[in-house]
Amino acid sequence: MKALALLGLALLAGAVYAEPLGLPPVPIPADNPQSAEKIKLGDKLFHDKRFSSTGAVACSNCHDDAKAFTDSPRRVSEGVNKLTGTRNAPTVINAAYMKTQFWDGRSPSLEDQALYPFLNPVEMALPDHGPILKIVRNDPDYAAAFQSVFGKSGEAITMKEVTQAIASFERTVVAGNSPFDRWYYGHDERALTPAQVRGFQVFVGQGRCVSCHVIEQTQALFTDNRFHNIGVGITAVQADVPKLAGAFLEAKAKGVDVDVAVLTDKKTSELGRFAVTDQFDDLGGFKTPTLRNIALTAPYMHDGSLKTLKDVMTHYNNGGIAKAGDRVNDFLSGGIRPLNLTSQQMDDLVAFMQALTSPEFAQTAAKAK
């Protein structure tokens, strides 16, 4: 946490602060400028277990600082009373750069995203945001902090301020400066092993990974911020898609809560981005995640169905199926096709993935073990 606090303070210096190697400046919304106190307040809110129906679940339960802000090695996240959802917790690290939040992009910003887990029955399970506001308006520490940061107290404190503070904190959870960054942007030839360099060549060449996991001339977010059906999850529910899609659209027309539907029903979850846009093109499509710190955040994919990075490479190499011989799903993205990689090339890719770990998280992960 020390590194993050320092970064938070550094953010305030503005001109003085330089973003980590390999990353662009963090986008900060005009109506929610960063301040040291706001970041600290957000940090506290993020780790507060009282904002759940059982008093046992904070944001940090599933986005644990010590596990690169995920709940690795869980396949899917666990909320109140050991209830599980349908999706693998994405890391908060560098989420500030994402154009949408959640695996299916159903939320447009960090501020908006923070509203939902509090209310989802399999996450923090509050009936409404009332209990949170009661605490932050009455707890002396919170009351003082909200007064100081937002100049507000009592009824004037709303979820807008709460989520702004949480988002401000999350905007400090950024990390670059990985061996890859030092090699690619810092021109340090010794930063990568020969296997990692070979893996990079596969990444930008025969593996075609870079088409979605974007690397640019001065920065690499390793995402295109788009949604693709890569054959995970939906493959298992293919026969049900016509019924599922129809039933979901009917339910949505009647006002069903999409956030609840996708986290509580496994099959509905597999509709992916379609649940948000209703477009056929988005059936089974999920957001391209960043690959930064990927070695620390197993298991993989929106449903946590792939245990290891080698499993991921195998899935892509098969052209969007986990096991050769499985039926490719009808809605597979046109960007996915068999790659004919050798086992060596796939191992090199995995080695390259390990070069994307930021030093501060490598340390926390090692300590957590």
Partner 1 sequence: MTTNLSRRAFLKGATALAAAQALPISLVELAFADESQNFTFAYISDSHIQHIRGAKFVRNWDRGLIRAVAETNLLHPKPDFIMFGGDLAQLGSKPELDHGAEMLSALSGKVHHVMGEHDYYLDLGEYWSQLFGPHYYSFDHKGVHFVVLNSILTFDDWTFNRWPTAEQRMAEMAGLDNPNGSPFMVGDKQREWLRQDLEKVDKNTPLVVFSHSPLQKIYKGWNFWTEDAEPVQELLKPFAKVNVLYGHVHQIQYNQIGNISFHSVMATAWPWPYPASYAQAEQYLPKLTVPMNRADPFFERDATGWQFINMANGNVDLRYTLYENRSREVAYNDKTKQPEDSAYQPDSARIPPQTHY
* CB contact at 8 A, 64 and 71: yes
Token pair for 265: 């029903």
Cβ proximity to partner 1, 66 vs 251, nearer residue = 251
Q: How far is the CB of 68 from partner 1 (least distance, A)?
A: 29
Does 205 sit near partner 1 (CB under 8 A)?
Answer: no
Q: How far is the CB of 87 from partner 1 (least distance, A)?
A: 22
Does 216 sit near partner 1 (CB under 8 A)?
Answer: no
Is 228 one of the annotated binding-site residues?
Answer: no
Does 204 sit near partner 1 (CB under 8 A)?
Answer: no
Token pair for 144: 């003082």
Kindly tell me the sign of the dihedral angle through the C-alpha atoms of 129, 134, 139, 142.
positive
Cβ proximity to partner 1, 134 vs 337, nearer residue = 337
Which of 364, 220, 357 lies closest to 288, judged by CA? 220
Q: How far is CA 165 from CA 24, 160, 209, 342, in A?
A: 22, 9, 35, 48
Q: Phi and psi dihedrals of 93, rounded to 5?
A: -60, 125
Does 25 sit near partner 1 (CB under 8 A)?
Answer: no
Among 80, 162, 232, 332, contact with partner 1 (rule: CB under 8 A): 332
Is 62 one of the annotated binding-site residues?
Answer: yes
Does 334 sit near partner 1 (CB under 8 A)?
Answer: yes
Residues 78 and 331: their CA atoms lie apart, in Å, by 30
Contacts of 230 (CB under 8 A, 6+ apart): 286, 315, 316, 320, 332, 333, 336
Site for partner 1 (CB under 8 A): how many residues?
Answer: 23
Token pair for 343: 């086992």
Among 81, 153, 211, 308, contact with partner 1 (rule: CB under 8 A): 211
Q: How far is the CB of 278 from partner 1 (least distance, A)?
A: 4
Among 137, 152, 160, 208, contact with partner 1 (rule: CB under 8 A): 208
Cβ proximity to partner 1, 161 vs 259, nearer residue = 259
Residues 164 and 197: their CA atoms lie apart, in Å, by 41
Cβ proximity to partner 1, 307 vs 327, nearer residue = 327
Kindly tell me the sign of the dihedral angle through the C-alpha atoms of 177, 181, 185, 188.
positive
Cβ proximity to partner 1, 4 vs 220, nearer residue = 220
Segment contacting partner 1 (CB under 8 A): 176-184, 279-287, 308-316, 346-354?
279-287
Is 129 one of the annotated binding-site residues?
Answer: no
Cβ proximity to partner 1, 93 vs 271, nearer residue = 271
Q: Partners of 78 in the beta sheet?
A: 84
* CB contact at 8 A, 301 and 76: no
Name the 3-class secondary structure at 103: coil
Does 247 sit near partner 1 (CB under 8 A)?
Answer: no
Residues 2 and 260: their CA atoms lie apart, in Å, by 35
Among 128, 141, 188, 281, contact with partner 1 (rule: CB under 8 A): 281
- State which amino acid sits at residue 31: D
Segment contacting partner 1 (CB under 8 A): 67-75, 89-97, 196-204, 238-246?
238-246
Q: Partners of 70 in the beta sheet?
A: 64
Is 213 one of the annotated binding-site residues?
Answer: yes
Does 331 sit near partner 1 (CB under 8 A)?
Answer: yes
Summarize as ranges the residues that interact with partner 1 (CB under 8 A). Answer: 208, 211, 241-242, 245-246, 249, 252, 277-281, 319, 328, 330-335, 337-338
Numbered residues of the known binding site for heme c: 59, 62-63, 209, 212-213
